Structure 1
Amino acid sequence: METEITIRQALPGEVLPKQLLLLADPDWSQVEKYLHQTDWTVADKNGRIIGVCGLLRLSSSEAEIVNAAVEERYQGRGYGKRLILQALNEAGAKQYGKVIIRTGNSSLDQLGLYQKCGFRMVRIERDYFVNNYPEPIYENGIWCRDQVILELNTREK
C-alpha cells in the first residue's frame, strides 16, 4: 500500500530538491531569481519532498505560480493539481485578486492541467525561451520557443 502524500507549506529554511526544481525550469540561474522570494507548497512523502509549487508575490493584488513540479514517477496521480489548488487557496487568503502562471508552447500536459485548475490563456510571448535560455528546449517532440501566459481571477474561482 502506497504511503499517503501530504500537501503542506514548506518549513522556514527547508531545502527544496534542486533536481525537482529543474524539472519545471531547466535553467538554474532562472530558478535562483525567485527561489528565496517565493512561498512554497510541497508534496511530502514520508519526510521527502516529491512535489513543489511556488507562489511569488508580484504586487499587493497579484501573484505568480512558479515552478510547479512533481517527480516523474508520481506524475499523473493528481498531486500537481493538489499543489496548484493549495497555492491558489494561499493566494486567496493573501488577497491576491489575480494569479498568473507561465509555461512553454510545448508543455501540453501542463497547459491542460492549468486550464483544469481554472486558468485561462491571456497572451503569448513569442521566442521567450529562444531569447532567455542558453540551450534549446524540446518537449513532446516540439521546440519550446514561446511562453504561454495564463491567469486566474481568485474571486471567480
Structure 2
Amino acid sequence: MDLTFKQITEVTADDYELLLDADPYKGIVDEYITRSTVFEVFNVDKLVGIVALLPTRPHTLEIVNIAVAKEQQNLGIGTQILKKMIFAAKTAGYSTLEIGTGSNSYQQLHLYQKLGFRMSWIDKDFFTKNYPKKIIEEFLTFNGFVLKDMVRLTMELKKS
C-alpha cells in the first residue's frame, strides 16, 4: 500500500469524522487543531487517515491526533503513518516525539511501543478533568467502562 500525505490548512467534514473518532469532542479538537500541522492520508484517491502534529516544547513534537478510517483499520495504515511522522520529526530536527492515548487503548499502546515509543507517565484523571462528558468505552470487555487516565509515551529521536 503506497500512502500519500497532503498537508492541509482547512479541516473538512470528512477530516472531522476521522479526528472525532480519535478524540470525541469537537471543541477540544478545534482547540489544538488550529495550532497543529495536519496531514490527510490517502490510498490512491481515498481518504484513509489523518494525523495532527503540534510542537509542545523546544525540540519536542507531539502527535495530538491520529486516526484511520474504520473500514481501513488493521491493514497497517496506522503503522505507516507513524513511521512517516517519526521520519519527518527526525528530519525536521526534533529530538523528542510524544503521543498520548487512553489507558485502556491496548491496540494503540501495543502499536506505539512496537514502533519504539516508551511509556513516560500517566496523566491521572485527564479525561474526566478535561472533557465535558464521560467517555464511555463500548468494546470487548470494557463495555460501559469510563475512561479516566491518559498514558503518555515518548520516543527519543536519534539523528541518523
Q: State TM-score, norm by structure 1.
A: 0.88
Cα separation, 1, equivalents of 2:27 and 2:124: 21
What is residue 43 of structure 2 aligned with on the other side?
Answer: 45
CA pair 62-133 structure 1, distance change in 2 beyond 3 A? same
Report the AA paired with residue 73 of structure 1.
E
What is residue 155 of structure 1 aligned with on the other side?
Answer: 158
Q: Is there any run of 5+ residues in structure 2 with no aligned partner, and where? A: none
Cα separation, 1, equivalents of 2:3 and 2:45: 9
Q: Structure 1 residue 108 and structure 2 residue 111: aligned? A: no
8 Å contact kept, 2:18–2:67: yes
Cα separation, 1, equivalents of 2:88 and 2:82: 10
Cα separation, 1, equivalents of 2:147 and 2:17: 20
SS at match of 1:37: coil
CA pair 109-94 structure 1, distance change in 2 beyond 3 A? same
Alpha-carbon deviation of 1:51?
0.3
SS at match of 1:155: coil
8 Å contact kept, 2:125–2:148: yes
8 Å contact kept, 1:55–1:91: no
Q: State TM-score, norm by structure 2.
A: 0.87
Q: How many residues align?
A: 154
CA pair 28-12 structure 1, distance change in 2 beyond 3 A? closer
8 Å contact kept, 2:60–2:96: yes
SS at match of 1:122: strand
Q: How do 1:20-31 and structure 2 match up within 5 A?
A: 20-31=18-29
Question: Could you tell me the percent identity over the aligned residues?
Answer: 31
Q: Is there any run of 5+ residues in structure 1 with no aligned partner, and where? A: none
Q: Structure 1 residue 6 and structure 2 residue 6: aligned? A: no
SS at match of 1:76: coil
What is residue 148 of structure 2 aligned with on the other side?
Answer: 145
